[in-house]
Each structure stands twice: as structure tokens, then as C-alpha cells.
Amino acid sequence: MQPANPLSMLPEAAAYLSEADKNAFARAYQYSATAHEGQFRKGGAPYITHPLAVAEILASWHLDGQTLIAALLHDVVEDTGISTEEIAREFGKSVAQLVDGVTKLDKIHFEDKAQAQAENFRKMLLAMARDVRVILIKLADRLHNMRTLDAMQAEKVSRIAQETLEIYAPIANRLGLNKVYQELEDIAFVHLHPNRYKVIEKAVKSARGNRKEIVDKITTAIEAKLLGCKIPAKIRGREKHLYSIYRKMQEKHLAFSEVFDIYGFRIVVEDERSCYLTLGALHALYKPIPGKFKDYIAIPKPNGYQSLHTTLFGPYGAPLEVQIRTQEMHRIAEAGVASHWLYKTGDTSLSEVQRKTHQWMQSLLDIQADSRDSAEFLEHIKVDLFPDEVYVFTPKGRIVALPRGATAVDFAYNVHTDVGNHCVGAKINGEFMPLSTPLKNGDRVEILTSESARPNPAWAHFAHTGKARAHIRSALKNTHRHESEQLGEQLLIQAIRALGHADISEHQWEHHQKENGRSRIDTLADIGLGKKLAFVVARQLLTQDHDTLARSQTGPMLIRGAEGIAVRLGKCCRPIPGDPIIGQIKKDHGLVIHTHDCTQVRHYRDDPEKWVDVAWSAELDKLFEVGIRIIVANQRGVLAKVASAIANEGSDIDNVHMEEEAGAYTSLYFTVSVQNRLHLARLMRALRGLPEVIRLQRLKSKSEEQRAHGA
């Protein structure tokens, strides 16, 4: 039976909604109840009880009328066939958009489980970035579903609980919905590990009795101290929720008694000034543990959380963890983003907390734009959902919050994408430091840039934030494509000339695009990446017969060794200028340069479409790595003599290691940088002139080095 006034079941909403919103809510309830008539939950209750329960949860967070109405209607489109257009006509465009946003999160189905999870995650976060109320409705929906999970089939329970633990709970935590986060984790825990849950629950109840006396004594001591300082305060002991105890035991390999030996207290005072006075009073009462103080009032967490945290040496030898906050801070700590994201008519101003939350959510859109697929997006964003923040400063004193482990390059991309893409170094606390330097709390960071600088592939290995990694990969992908286009153009020109033609007309390119559906630039990039063969494309463009192929009509392509991603030197043979070389077209790798005698290209020599005639350019602008093995007599100072000889020939040593041989000899393995084969020959001559050198050998590949090790 439907209640005459549905708001009688939501007294909190009735207290703050306007009369217009109350009337719209009652109308939406009747509309939803009629639409869901005859439908029942798995537990047997009428279906309308679910949307009403979702609205009740949202009302406890004091969400606006539009959100509560959308909560009542959130399953109508999916379950009853009513369109979003009809909802827009009945309840307005904003409500319809919220319902549509929630509905779309439930509509995705994939065969691949991992892809499905990643795609759902991506859709959810992007919906949240556009309107945070969508995810608040979804979280309330998931919370009620978790509370009624016992009615579900056993095989679904485990999947839903795991998804909640991996996706919904972290989002609730990131948005500062502390109570929701803890409840979702605990319910998921009881369904995923029922026996472990029971054991920890029993242990907590058992330990609670022993602890009560200690907690009461500490509370009395704190109350007396604050009363003496004339600081009005509410003090209560706090316990960790069960899943956090379990997680701490797992992560730190602790026994239950070690986790539960920590006493937690929360002190709520009247104003910010009282927070700091309380901190001083506590530090006078109990000794603070060094390094265990955090000021989240001066530097709030990105989700708006504010409190002073301190850990003290307790009267019984156990540590006391204390949180000190105002009533307003406590409200935000419990309700998170929901507490300050009320959609008020005409209120367009954003608080600092709202601005930061909005900034983080908008960064999701940036990461999405630079991610190739859902799995990559999920990989990038997970680090931002499990942050242990570090707070650093810009040169002008602005505070920047980054996940722990973030480096200077993460800071650069946090400032601006262009700053990240053009950074060359960093000054941390006034000292020049590498971009890979991990940042610490309180660091002052200045990024040095250059217009000519471009992202380095190595950055992806030490970039920590999703935003930085996504932008680096995107920039490298664009650079790779540009180089692939240039290489493809060179290869195509070579192929066209080999067929006895000078160039391709615009008409021929237009015809080719119509026939193949690929633009000129795409075709050139495909050739450069080895996805298409230059001579095949040339024949298609010229419509020439295969017999006209003749390599002798074109000269070799010139290689400088510094082209970049689209032209690579083979690691299997490590060619240097002066070595006879050949170019191998390799799919998705572009043009790979090998020596003529490299085993990797031996079987390609008879297939002219798989290789390209190349030669070293006279203008070489880089040094080339070469591996050499030197067998020397065991004598004092021999390594220094060899290194000195290498340096005297103008060669840098990139790497060195040694291995003792049988008898009185040692093998020295050097990786050195040389200009060309002549430079290497001079170096080898100089080394052979050393009386301690018994044998000398150039190692062309890693496998040769390994064989030499075994020699």
C-alpha cells in the first residue's frame, strides 16, 4: 500500500525542501509507483520501496529536490519503457538528464569481464565529471542494493561485492563520503569473506570490553585538560571499521592485537582557533610522536576533508590517534562532496573545496581524451582513486596536492599540459633536480621549460599520476605518428622512383582515397609503421604492372641514426656508421636498421618488398653504442688503464662489468659510445697496444654478450 504522503517517510527532506519541490516529489513518487506497479524486488517487497530508499539516503545527505526526484525515477527508463523525453516533459530537463546519466551506467554489457568492468568504471567517472549528482544517486542505489544483498542469488553476490570493493567504495572515499565508504566496504567484506568477518567481529566485541575502561580514563583526562583550558568540546572514542582492520592486518602483516592496540579519539570544537588550542593542550597532556602530525585544516584534502591529526604516547604505552575538527568540518568529513554540492537556485559561486573537487573531476575528461581504451583509462585513474596525498608548493606559494610517489614531471603536468610537454628539468627547494625526483611534503617546486623540448618515453616509467601518464602517452603517440608520416613519405617516394615515375598527382591520391577509404596522411603513416608496403601502395597509385619494379632506378635512403621512433637501430646487431646496413619494414615499428650480416634479416633478403636499401648519411649527429669484450691479465690497476685508454680516444663509457675467467685472466665487458666504425677501429688499436690486453672482441648483440659470458 502506497503512503498518502511519501515525504512522511523522509522527514529530513520534508524539513529542507521548498513547497514546490515537495509537490514535485509527491508527483514523482506516484508516477514511479504506477510505472513499477506489479514489479517486485528479489526479497518480495514492491519495487517502489527501492527508489524510495535511494531517495531517503540522498535526503540524509541533504541533496536538492531535483536529485531526490531523479532517485525516485532512476529505474523507470530501464525497467518500464518510459522514455527520458517523457520524463523531461513531466519533471524538467535537469531531472531527465540525471535519470539518463544513471540509466546509461547500467546499460553496458560486454563479453569480456575485465573490459566490462573498465568500461563501466570509465562511464561512471565521466558521468560524475559532468554532473556529480549522477554518481551520488548511483552510490545511494548501490548502498541500498548492498544492504539487501542477502536476497540475491549466490553467484551474483560475490561479483557485486567485489565490484563494490574495487569501484564504488573507492569513489565514495575519493568524494569524502566516509560513512558510505565504510559501510560499502564492511558489507562487501561480510559477503566475500564471511568467516574472516565473523572472526574479526567477535574479536572486536571481545576486545571492546577490555578497552572500555582505558578509553573512559583517557576521555576523562582529556575532558579535564580541555575544561582547564576553557575549551568547550565533544570527545568520543572511535573504532576502525572491520574491513580497515582486516586490510591493515593483511598489508602490514600484523596480528589483530597489534591493530586494535591503537586508541582513536575524535574531538569536535566550536571553531578553527579552538582546534589549534586543543592540539596544544593535548601535546601538553601526552607526548606527541614525532612525524605523526598532519594539518588538514591549513591544507585540506582535495575532497574537502579538514581536521588536525596527531598521534600521542598514551598513558598505558599504546599510541593514541586523535582527530580535531569543528562541527562544520565534521559534517563535511561524514558527507563529503554531497555536503557542499547542493544545487541552489542562483548560487553560481564555488567554494575552494568545490573548485578542487570540480577540478579533479574535470581532469577525468582530460585523461579520457588521452586514453586509447577503457582498460588504459582505468589503469591511469586507479592511482588517483587511492591517493595518499603529498602537498607541495608552486614558486608563488600555491598548494598542489598530488598522490604519494608523484614526481616532478607529475607536478609539471598538474600545472598545465603545455608545461609538462615542454619541461626539461626542475628546481626543488632551489636545487636543480631530475624530473624523476619523488616529491615530499612541503617541497617548493619550479619547472624549467623549453619550447623545443618534447616528452621523453622514459617519463612514462616514473610518472605517477593518471593525468601525466595519459598526456605523455598521447604526446608520444602524436610524435610517433608524425615521424611515421615522414618516413612513409620517404619510402613511397623511393618506391615511385623505382617504378620510373617522379611524383603522384592530386587526382591519383583522390582516386586512391575513394578506393581504399584512407586519407593521404593515414596512408603515409601506415607505410611508415609497416602496416602497408610502399611498393604495393605505389603500384596502386600508379596502376603499374608488377614487372616494372626495379630497385636500381633509385638511390638508397640516407640514415643519420637520430631520426627517432619511426626509424630504429636494431638491438640485435647494433649497427654503427661504416657498417653495411639494410632497412627492414616491420609492422607497427616502422623502419628497423640492421647490419647486412644480421641473422634477423637473412631470410628477408630474397623478398624485395620486405626491405629497403639504406645507407649512412654523411651528416651524422649522434654517438652510437658498441659492446666490446676485453680479456685482460689479472694485474693491479688494469681496469683503470683500460678505462683511461678508452677516454683518451674520445669515447664515453656507458656501462662496464667484469667476470673472472679460469686461471689468471678476467673478462671486461664495456658499452662505449663511438662516432663510427673508424672511431671504433682507432679505439680497438689503442686497446690492443696495452700489454695487459690478451684478446679483444666487438659484441654486436646482447646474445653475443651472453654467449661470451659462457665462453
Of 194, 216, 240, which one is at a domain's C-terminal end?
194
Q: Are residues 81 and 120 in the same domain?
A: yes
Q: Are residues 47 and 137 in the same domain?
A: yes
Residue 422 falls inside a structural domain = yes
Q: Are residues 513 and 655 in the same domain?
A: no
Q: Give the three cell numbers for residue 2.
A: 502506497
Residue 324 has pLDDT above 90, yes or no: yes
Residue 1 falls inside a structural domain = no
Q: Are residues 497 and 402 in the same domain?
A: no
Residue 495 falls inside a structural domain = yes
Residue 200 has pLDDT above 70, yes or no: yes
Q: What is the CATH number of the domain that holds 162?
A: 1.10.3210.10
* pLDDT value of residue 349: 45
402 Cβ neighbours under 8 A, 6+ residues apart = 389, 390, 391, 392, 410, 411, 414, 439, 464, 465
Residue 377 falls inside a structural domain = no
Q: Are residues 543 and 635 in the same domain?
A: no
Residues labelled as active-site residues: 78-79
Q: What is the CATH number of the domain that holds 415?
A: 3.10.20.30
Dihedral over Cα of 555, 561, 566, 572: its sign: positive
Residue 351 falls inside a structural domain = no
Reported as a single tens digit per residue, the pLDDT across 218-247 is 899 999 999 999 999 999 887 778 888 888
What's the whole-number mean pLDDT along residues 249-266? 77
Asked whether the beta carbons of 301 and 389 are under 8 A apart, the reply is: yes
Asked whether the beta carbons of 141 and 73 are under 8 A apart, the reply is: no
Q: Are residues 450 and 479 in the same domain?
A: no
At 312 the three-state DSSP class reads: strand
Choose between 702 and 709: higher pLDDT: 702
Reported as a single tens digit per residue, the pLDDT across 518-557 is 787 778 777 776 667 676 677 777 763 344 434 434 566 6
Q: What is the CATH number of the domain that holds 330?
A: 3.30.460.10
Asked whether the beta carbons of 659 and 709 are under 8 A apart, the reply is: yes
Most confident range, picked from 391-395, 538-542, 701-705: 391-395
Dihedral over Cα of 619, 623, 629, 632: its sign: positive
Of 464, 487, 516, which one is at a domain's C-terminal end?
464
Cell 571492546 belongs to 208
Q: What is the CATH number of the domain that holds 680?
A: 3.30.70.260
Asked whether the beta carbons of 529 and 589 are under 8 A apart, the reply is: yes
Q: Are residues 172 and 254 in the same domain?
A: no
Residue 248 falls inside a structural domain = yes
Domain count across the chain? 5
What is the number of residues in the chain?
711
Cell 605505389 belongs to 538
Q: To the nearest whole percent, how much of the chain has pLDDT over 90?
A: 14
Residue 238 falls inside a structural domain = yes
- Residue numbers of the domain that contains 308: 203-339
Of 563, 594, 616, which one is at a domain's C-terminal end?
616
What CA–CA distance (Å, rounded) separates 153 from 113?
Answer: 19
Which of 293, 285, 324 lies closest to 310, judged by CA? 293
What's the whole-number mean pLDDT along residues 630-638? 88
Q: Are residues 455 and 561 in the same domain?
A: no
Reported as a single tens digit per residue, the pLDDT across 266-287 is 999 999 999 999 999 999 999 9
Residue 194 has pLDDT above 80, yes or no: yes
Residue 347 falls inside a structural domain = no
**Is this model's pTM higher than 0.75 or not?**
no
Reported as a single tens digit per residue, the pLDDT across 91-148 is 888 888 888 877 765 554 444 455 555 555 566 566 665 677 888 888 899 999 999 8
Q: Are residues 412 and 533 in the same domain?
A: no
Choose between 302 and 381: higher pLDDT: 302
What CA–CA distance (Å, rounded) separates 264 from 292?
Answer: 14
Lowest mean pLDDT among 50-54, 196-200, 503-507, 670-674: 503-507
Q: Are residues 180 and 245 in the same domain?
A: no
At 422 the three-state DSSP class reads: coil
Asked whether the beta carbons of 680 and 626 are under 8 A apart, the reply is: yes
The mean predicted confidence, pLDDT, of the chain is: 78
Q: Are residues 18 and 94 in the same domain?
A: yes
Q: Are residues 612 and 628 in the same domain?
A: no
- Separation of first and last alpha carbons in the chain: 88
